[in-house]
Structures are given as structure tokens and as C-alpha cells.
Amino acid sequence: MPERVREELSGLANRFETFVFDLDGVVYRGNRALPHAVEVLNLLQESGRQVFYLTNNSGATRQQYAEKLRALGVDAQPEQFITSAWATALYLQRALNPGAKLFVVGEPGLKQELHAAGFETVEAVETEIPAAVVVGIDRAFSYERLAQAQYAILNGARFIATNADPTYPAEDRLLPGAGTMVAAIATATGHKPRVIGKPNPQILQPFIERGVIQPERTLLIGDRLDTDIALANLLHIPCALVLTGVATRDDVACAPLEQLPQWVLNNLSELLGDAVNNLLVHGV
């Protein structure tokens, strides 16, 4: 890979070498790119910055996310994406035997990541209890799937959640997220899941340990205080909240300390200008 040539940028963006962006509510909503996102992302990469995308949405593979961004006009490759589905597959490779059987409440993207990691997925649990029940966003979730997951967990299967986000931002509204399916199964079983996605630091820790991401030289940009910003603060990564997704300024005003961002952006263009608002959390 050719060495990146760093160019000067204006505004906040010039302070950092690496950027980690959430997707839903930050880069796009549904199939519509958010204002200035395409231009800013391409400019960061053209200026020699390292760009990653970190999403709790387990509905697609890394390849599919890269294809979606390219369709919107962003130069993106699969290795830039860190998804809860991919992170779950990596976790299960360490936690389970090779080829273990899984019951999946989730969409094809999650199943494809699990198959690529060497696991078998099953559609019925009564004849053989799977090693784990893996739960992600599932827009075809049904009572039958709930009952199957309940049966497997109550008979010894591990309960793994890709994430617990209660909502995600679509083009013109919020929609139920994977957390609603996770909550239903937790209620039906009385068991709590192991949650792999944000704000679990494990999702980024391997990149930090390998030096791919250096926290002090990285800016994490997200739209949720309880996942994106909480994760950044746990890992001591500078962070900015963008107000194009879930959280609002009112949410920031009453957020606990561990969920406070260093900066608040109206949209991604403010990474490159003087409109960035410093929070008055330190009496500045």
C-alpha cells in the first residue's frame, strides 16, 4: 500500500490522522446521503487521512456496506468497515468450536459473515440445540423466531447480541433497532445477552492493539451518545456528536459525563470549518 501523503485541512479535521465514522445517521439515512457527507469523506481520504466506518447495524456484510457507499459516491473498500456482524463472527471464532451450529435471528448479511467465519446456521432448534443464538436486526422477526430462540437459550445455547440499539435512523423517521428483538428474547428467557457491538470496547480494541488506530490521533464521529460517544470515552478517543441522526442538543445537555462528546456538529461539513461548538463541560 502506498504511503499516504498528508495535506493540510481547515478546521477540526486538521488535528487528526484517523477518523472513525458511524454510518446510520452520520453518513446516510436509509439510502440517502446526509448533507456534505460524500464530499467530506472523499476529501479526508484524498488529504491522506485514514478513514474507518464503525456500525452496530448487522444487516449487511462489509462488502455490501462498501458497495453502498460507492453507490453514494464515496471511495470505500470492505477493509475500512468494522461492523457488529463481523465483530460477532470474530468473537465466536474464539468462543466456540470450529463449525459450531448457530440459530440466527437476523438478516442475510449477518448470516453471510457467520458462514464466512466457518459457522453453520440452522433454521430449527428442536432436534439439536445450537451452540449459540445470535441476534441482530431482523425486519422479518416473528413470534415463531422468538419461540425458537427462547427454546434454544433455555436449553443451554449461549445468547449473543450483535448490538442492543433500540432504534436506528431511516430517511424520514426512527425505526426499531436490533435492541427490540434482543429485549423480546431477554424477556422470554430471563437471560441477558453478551453484547458485542458499541459501546463494548472489544469492537475496536484489536485495531488499537495492532496500532492501526492510535486513540490520541483519532476522531470518532457518531450520532448516539449511549453507543458512539460512550465507546469513544471508554477508549479515550476524542469524539464528536453529529446532529443528523438520533441525539439532539437537549440530549447532550442532560447526558452523563461518560456520554459527553468534546464537539457537537450540525453536519459533517463542520469538521472543516469554524462552526464547531466546543462543549462547556470543563468551564471553558
Q: Count the neighbouring beta carbons within 10 Å of the beta carbon of residue 25.
A: 23
Residue 77, phi-psi category: left (phi > 0), alpha (psi -120 to 50), beta (remainder):
beta
CA distances from residue 103 to 114, 122, 130, 139, 143 in whole angstroms, order as listed: 11, 5, 6, 16, 15
Active site residue 22: yes
Active site residue 251: no
CA 84 from centre of chain: 6
CA distances from residue 181 to 100, 119, 176, 266 in whole angstroms, order as listed: 23, 22, 9, 31
8 Å CB contact between 208 and 233: no
Residue 267 φ/ψ, nearest 5 degrees = -155, 175
Q: Count the neighbouring beta carbons within 10 Å of the beta carbon of residue 45.
A: 17
C-alpha 197/C-alpha 244 separation (Å) is 21
Catalytic pick among 22, 138, 165, 223: 22
C-alpha 123/C-alpha 69 separation (Å) is 32
Q: Which residues contact 141 (CB under 8 A, 6 or more apart)?
A: 105, 181, 184
Helices 84-95 and 108-116, packing angle to 10 deg = 40
C-alpha 45/C-alpha 74 separation (Å) is 10
Which residues participate in catalysis according to the annotation?
Answer: 22, 24
